[in-house]
Amino acid sequence: MAAALPSSVDYQQLFRSLPDALLLMAPDGTILDNTDAHVAASLKPRDEVVNRHIFEAYPVADQNQGDEIERSHEHVRQHLQPHTMPVIRYDLKLPAEQGGGFEEMYWQATHYPVLGAEGKLQYILQRTQNITEQYQAERRAQDMQKALAEAQEYARFVLGALPVLVSSSKPDGRADYFNQRWTQFTGLSHEQLVAGEWVNAIHPEDQLRLAEDWERVRYSTEEYQHEYRLRNHQGEYRWMLMRTVPRLDAAGNIVLRVGGSIDITDQKKMVEELLRANEEQAVLSDQAYESFKLAQSQRQTLLNIFMQAPALIALLRGPEHRFDFVNPKYQQLFPHRQLVGNTVAEAVPEVVDQGYIELLDRVYQTGETYQGNELLIMLERDDTRQLTPSYINLTYQLYYEGDEKAGIVVFAYEVTDLVNARKSLEGNAAS
């Protein structure tokens, strides 16, 4: 038999002292009492809410909030069972001394039936938890995750848009990422590439040399450059210039190595033809080729995760071709210009009459990629305002955001030294 409670207990005081935020209501929602914890959480004195309907005592800023609570009350009245509401936003009115107005708040509430001796509903007890800080922290985490996903998608787009075969490897040397250019060039799937089948596409004469060099440098914190032949999806071997750059943590340890390869077959063939055409100028030709390779290595520093690349890279947005992004190499071409935010015509007016705006317009309108080699472009390269002839290999490629045209990716590298060297050789051969 249960022990009888002492008659001297002040049950109202006991209820009010309970540590939970509890609100006691009549079945119709009239407030009868609440705990001290509820008084603190609700921002209203007890004498301002007792004997008033819950929605009169605590006005709702949004009727949907009140409807959700009313549905929970109705569930308790009909089924005489507890009902836990989903998380709702229920803004409370601040006291005048706190500035007034409503404060954004989120709550988790459960309504319990309190039955009389005959089993009929006598009271509804609401247990309330203020989860505003937890909810807002979760929402901030979701926003951060969304921003991270968008940044990763942006990086993946740029890596896929550039005409460079980009890959990355773990600190132990195992490859874990290949961009879309790799799959397009080799005809292998991403899974096959990650599994190591890309090695089989390397020319047999280059495999051992490449493997030995890679074993030597994969744990090194230095950059690495190599030439090798890679078989494309048509079965043709193409000469590639590969460069890898390690990414280090604060302690100087390698966390990943980013690598990229560009097709230099045409350039190698051109140099070889010059050598065959003028053997007497072999030394000069060798110097020209070495100068070309040096220029290539200087301009082809591989794109890492943060868009650091040796090539000239820019994103032009919209049909007016407004600079949305330029990498450091591109900016170095115009050290005295403000590029980002301006259109090509505004930032580089000297190219307007050289046909480059028309090329951009055609690529944007037709969607056809434009590629040009050894294109002459006259630029103001310093503050003297003098036009200097330069030569570039250039790619314009349209890119989309969703199904809509967004702009043009510009990828270029300068070949002025190579063209000048070839012209010199051709002049010597003619003489």
**Tokens 């009169």 sit at which residue?**
56
Q: For residue 26, what are its two tokens?
A: 């009549």
Per the CB < 8 A criterion, the answer to whether 274 and 425 are in contact is yes
Topology of domain 11-130 in CATH is Beta-Lactamase (3.30.450)
pLDDT of residue 133: 84
pLDDT of residue 395: 92
Helix (H, G, I), strand (E, B) or coil at 13: helix
User: Which residues of the chain are under the pLDDT cut of 50?
Assistant: 1-2, 282, 288, 295-303, 305-306
If one counts every other C-beta atom within 10 angstroms of the C-beta of residue 153, the result is 10
Where in the chain is CATH 3.30.450.20? 11-130, 169-263, 312-430
Using one digit for the tens of pLDDT, what is the confidence trace for 65-124? Answer: 788 889 999 999 999 999 998 887 877 777 767 667 777 888 888 999 999 888 899 999
**Nearest CA to 54 among 122, 107, 105, 125?**
125
Angle at Cα 350 formed by Cα 347 and Cα 351, nearest 5°?
A: 90
Query: What's the Cα-to-Cα distance from 140 to each of 104, 136, 143, 154, rounded to whole Å?
Result: 15, 6, 5, 21
pLDDT of residue 295: 43
* pTM to 2 decimal places: 0.36
Q: For residue 181, what are its two tokens?
A: 């250019």
Where does 169-263 sit in CATH, by number?
Answer: 3.30.450.20
312-430: CATH superfamily: PAS domain (3.30.450.20)
The DSSP string of 116-164 is: -TTS-EEEEEEEEEE-HHHHHHHHHHHHHHHHHHHHHHHHHHHHHHSSS
Non-local (6+) Cβ contacts of 307 within 8 A are 155, 158, 313, 325, 327
